[in-house]
Structure 1
């Protein structure tokens, strides 16, 4: 690589001498070693390079919820994912505050919605970085061959993670499993089924080669591990209604030593990070410019230094049984703002949690880890998968969640389901449990879609069956592809 900057001053003042002397000088004079930011040609050479490349592949995951991309954060599952459902109101300063969220809330989402473009871009950035690891790292010589295998497995998990976000948002998308060359950039959409098959193939590699965090050093915490891959395979299978497969991977997950944290209220405080029932989290840090999360600010009250989005609807609050301790652990009320004045306590800062308000690094970061996958979610996925074939075991797993929910309260508080419950009453009980246990975590909208209930529950809010199950492909992507990438029906 030829770098001339360091010789600029010499050229400026000695151009005549240099011109004359170049005849006798070796051209190595201008061939200098690369310094500064690495480039592809001189990177991917050592195990240290491989670790750094892997970190880069994790970065878009953090950016989705962090200050690095404001509109992608607004488009995350915790915000855009559940706005427009029967659980959350957009809110903000007024009815028209934040047009991208307003479009989702009213089911009038446009192809130029800026959050959709950022979701698309950020996920494909993650896919590119994962592909770089998958394609480049095999050629690096490692003394620790197990770590090499783990790095590649983590990259496969990450690629699956990004594609799962894309398929839930847009349906089938272009599948890229190599480093593209000039002229290869326009790739048509795969079908939804093909996209899911691609995700499953990546997760199978991750499951086979990843270690468990329970037998890994403390420094491994925060990396995707076997439990995360198994749990994600359960979720991917559930969203395809592959219930036998949910059970298969649930059986494997439950052999690992996860246990439900005793106190539900502690889970979303700092003391609950990576607790015994936490399967995967996105790690965030306070008092830094780029390592925190913007979610807390986005959804905190405007009169408590937040933006006031995603306020809790009465329908969700009424779903909780009397005296369910999860109610107070999930919501808090602050009056004097536009909207319902009820807020998601799971991503909050003091005095509503033990996370301190950030004092360094600007106004956008907070230390709240994003809880991506929890054991109670896995229990409820498992129960839903087997409720019709093995109702007694399904009841057992739901009751594990309900028993933890009531904590030290009498058994009359969040009482156990009857051992004999089965059929539709049991399925409805599982749906109820998912709604209250996972309230505010970004699953309600997709739960309604995958179970076929969205048309009934969300139609009064504007949901159109056959259209709003997915969002539109960003206009820019369709335009740049000259129509090779087709638009979703109805947009």
Structure 2
């Protein structure tokens, strides 16, 4: 994977391509803060942050690289295995030379900071209506997303007293300000939530679902609060869920399969999606070919994931025939049918869907001592949109722990290989249950990964390596 250096300027689209079109690669993707002089160029710069978010690769073929966001958490949680042989990630073994999310996260954060600082310096009269606040809200949402992604995979987010938080950046990084100490866990939560509160208060209404709205910020705040995991957090999660659902901007898809096989970004369930680049489906090493029939990589369903779908109607389309390249693995067909051809729909990524809102609300109700009947009703409603009719296991859950476990199972069946929701839902369970679901996890050290060696070398102020890993 190509390393992203801190001295790289903000990536953005060329000023000539400022029409908020993410479907083609800009001719010139390099814009620094000095090029943002008005509303038009601010939108151009913001579009560059979205390119970082979508992980657009411009080295050879213009494609989005959402695979890390989607596939790696599936490895960690046990839903996905590597189709051509064993991978360390399947065993929750991580190396300090790996960089699955570090550079990606900071690419977003650094680009967002370039836009934020430039836009804040402009006079309000350079913008019409609420556009200045809207642009800042979207940029701060993206910064929060980048910081929370890094925090979730490299910070001890479950320990509110820990000093092992995120490396927070609020300024565009140049040679003179690379050294910086990582923040505490408490400081990290506050910084991220402050960004999200601004994005919720000032974010735009939904227009195109490849751009962040105030409702996307609400859902990201729900994720953050569930990781924070205090009693007051759950009430906020429930309230945020009610606001998103009550807005009537989004609807659960009548048939879950239609999102991935027919509608893609046109589905009213999608809150935030990843639009493929023009002609991405024609590239031989595109995203969907990694699932069927396999290309430079192949990601397939594990035996555990297949077993979880036993007697579930989704088993007929999420899991295909046995993979001949590796025993006890099957084609993972969420995005492309077996024998199908890549298309713009199969290449689409999904960062946020309404199903997650409902499931997090149900989990928050169960964790806060609320009505288990209400939580189970929400859960069964989500399952019914996947054509599930047998709710025996849900009905038999009589304690909050049992209900939360059933919600976790549905999170796996519904949201796996999208944006890491299944992995974080697993880690919110009691440690004994985590071990039961993923026996290769023997210590909470494996919840997170080592800080990349290059970061520790280039940033001497950072602090210690994460516990359990070599510097």
Q: 2:195: which partner in 1?
A: 202
Secondary structure in structure 2 of the residue aligned to 1:89: strand
Note the alpha carbon deviations across 1:69-105, whole angstroms, 9 max, x for none: 99x959723222221433222232x34xxxxxx2322
Matches of 2:437 and 2:146, distance apart in 1: 27
1:315 aligns with 2:304: yes
Q: 1:41 to 1:435 in 2, by over 3 A?
A: closer
Q: CA deviation at 1:111?
A: 0.7
Q: What does 1:22-33 correspond to in 2, within 5 Å?
A: none
Matches of 2:151 and 2:189, distance apart in 1: 8
Q: 1:187 to 1:469 in 2, by over 3 A?
A: same
Identify which of 301, 322, 345 aligns with 2:333. Answer: 345
Identify which of 123, 128, 145 aligns with 2:105. Answer: 123
Identify which of 58, 65, 69 aligns with 2:50. Answer: 58
Matches of 2:303 and 2:347, distance apart in 1: 26
Matches of 1:484 and 1:266, distance apart in 2: 46
1:235 aligns with 2:223: yes
Matches of 1:240 and 1:208, distance apart in 2: 21
Is the CA contact 1:83–1:310 (under 8 Å) kept in the aligned structure 2? no
Matches of 1:348 and 1:65, distance apart in 2: 21
CA RMSD after TM alignment: 3.2
Q: 1:362: which partner in 2?
A: none
Q: What does 1:16-55 correspond to in 2, within 5 Å?
A: 40=32, 43-55=35-47
Q: 2:443: which partner in 1?
A: 465
Is the CA contact 1:65–1:295 (under 8 Å) kept in the aligned structure 2? no
Secondary structure in structure 1 of the residue aligned to 2:380: helix
Q: CA deviation at 1:124?
A: 1.1
Q: 1:341 to 1:174 in 2, by over 3 A?
A: closer
Is the CA contact 1:260–1:276 (under 8 Å) kept in the aligned structure 2? yes
Matches of 1:206 and 1:69, distance apart in 2: 33
Matches of 2:397 and 2:450, distance apart in 1: 44
1:156 aligns with 2:140: yes
Note the alpha carbon deviations across 1:346-386, whole angstroms, 9 max, x for none: 2226744xxx436xxxxxx9852211111111111100101
Q: 1:169: which partner in 2?
A: 153
Is the CA contact 2:138–2:212 (under 8 Å) kept in the aligned structure 1? yes
Matches of 2:284 and 2:166, distance apart in 1: 30
Q: CA deviation at 1:338?
A: 2.4
Is the CA contact 1:77–1:443 (under 8 Å) kept in the aligned structure 2? no
Is the CA contact 1:154–1:225 (under 8 Å) kept in the aligned structure 2? yes
Is the CA contact 2:83–2:323 (under 8 Å) kept in the aligned structure 1? no
Q: 1:336 to 1:182 in 2, by over 3 A?
A: closer
Q: Select the structure of larger CA radius of gyration.
A: 1
Secondary structure in structure 2 of the residue aligned to 1:333: strand
Q: 1:445: which partner in 2?
A: 423
Q: TM-score, normalised by structure 2?
A: 0.80
Matches of 2:97 and 2:387, distance apart in 1: 46
Q: CA deviation at 1:422?
A: 4.7
Matches of 2:397 and 2:319, distance apart in 1: 33
Is the CA contact 1:301–1:308 (under 8 Å) kept in the aligned structure 2? no
1:112 aligns with 2:110: no
1:489 aligns with 2:467: yes
Q: 1:346 to 1:68 in 2, by over 3 A?
A: farther
1:225 aligns with 2:217: no
Secondary structure in structure 2 of the residue aligned to 1:246: helix
Matches of 1:377 and 1:86, distance apart in 2: 19
Matches of 1:318 and 1:346, distance apart in 2: 16
Matches of 1:198 and 1:69, distance apart in 2: 36
Q: CA deviation at 1:225?
A: 0.7
Structure 2 residue ranges without an equivalent (≥5): 1-27, 156-164
Q: CA deviation at 1:448?
A: 1.8
Note the alpha carbon deviations across 1:313-349, whole angstroms, 9 max, x for none: 1222112251x22222322225432243412212226
Q: What does 1:375-390 correspond to in 2, within 5 Å?
A: 375-387=354-366, 388-390=369-371
1:403 aligns with 2:387: no
Farther off after superposition, 53-62 or 276-285: 276-285
Is the CA contact 1:110–1:472 (under 8 Å) kept in the aligned structure 2? yes
Is the CA contact 2:61–2:283 (under 8 Å) kept in the aligned structure 1? no
Note the alpha carbon deviations across 1:401-446, whole angstroms, 9 max, x for none: 1222227xxx4x4569549955333223222222222233333322
Q: TM-score, normalised by structure 1?
A: 0.77
Q: CA deviation at 1:134?
A: 1.0
Q: 1:260 to 1:52 in 2, by over 3 A?
A: same
Q: 2:240: which partner in 1?
A: 249
Matches of 2:270 and 2:194, distance apart in 1: 24
Matches of 2:66 and 2:204, distance apart in 1: 33
Q: CA deviation at 1:212?
A: 2.4
Is the CA contact 1:89–1:311 (under 8 Å) kept in the aligned structure 2? yes
Matches of 1:57 and 1:291, distance apart in 2: 24
How many residues are aligned here?
423
Q: 1:427 to 1:285 in 2, by over 3 A?
A: same
Is the CA contact 1:284–1:292 (under 8 Å) kept in the aligned structure 2? no
Q: 2:257: which partner in 1?
A: 265
Q: 1:182 to 1:480 in 2, by over 3 A?
A: closer
1:135 aligns with 2:117: yes
